[in-house]
Structure 1
């Protein structure tokens, strides 16, 4: 058997080399057998709360309890109907009540009183602008305009003389009406002050 063994490295004694190589090989085999894996290839740990969902079971129990309670109430109603020979009570004597009716009525009264007060203030207030004063100013402006124009608008030469006579008459009448309007405007402005 020692003759069939061929060492890899040169040696003086084949028997010793064979024995040493076998010891080294056995040590290698022991190391391989006793070695620990570097990577964790084991399946992950299983936790019970991931498989048994207690909240889901609790919700299901609550739902079943509600269904059971509704069924019991329905059964009591049916038993009552059977005992009273099926008399049906369909009368509704309930009158609708609002919890904030008085609050809404008070708010409506307050708004109504405010609206009445605003209306009274609006109707009793004298106007800020005096139309009589504006009419007097307009007539004066119109007179100034006629005084500075060289030719009257839309008039022919024949009617020009008639127009000047009429203007002089109208001017006298306008002056009197202007005096009246100015007097009324001054009276109104005195009242406002």
Structure 2
């Protein structure tokens, strides 16, 4: 019994002082200013991107804060929240998404009670599926050289950092859009 109590005390003590940093597809983050980082996406490790949450419509998303990213099924656009409004990151004038990608979500409803929080404030009340709750750390997107060439059959809502053009790349199910600061 003493061993169990001692073990639990050590685990709780360690968890209290653990840094809330997550590396996906690699063993560690590159530095202390990163809360979430993805591993290298290449021919050896496989080309992968981050798929954004699919929502029935941006208008139906309540409580979204600036910096939120979504894939809107109403018009098949990748959007982010800026100054209280949704900004379109997709430039396909047809607004058509890959029918196979969209059909995978048909008939499914979002469970708004489910979410994961990474950071110093695990009880963060910000709405979202994945909330990065640090105010001094960033997320590093999956890095892919020329994603339009290397990501085969990407899903609508995929977002990566294009290491060749050094731009944000988003896929709406039909075309890639590229954004540079």
TM-score bracket, shorter-length normalisation: under 0.3
Which of the pair has the greater relative contact order for Cα pairs under 8 Å at 6+ separation? 2
Normalising by structure 2, we get a TM-score of: 0.17
Normalising by structure 1, we get a TM-score of: 0.16
Which structure has the larger Rg? Answer: 1
More strand by share: 2
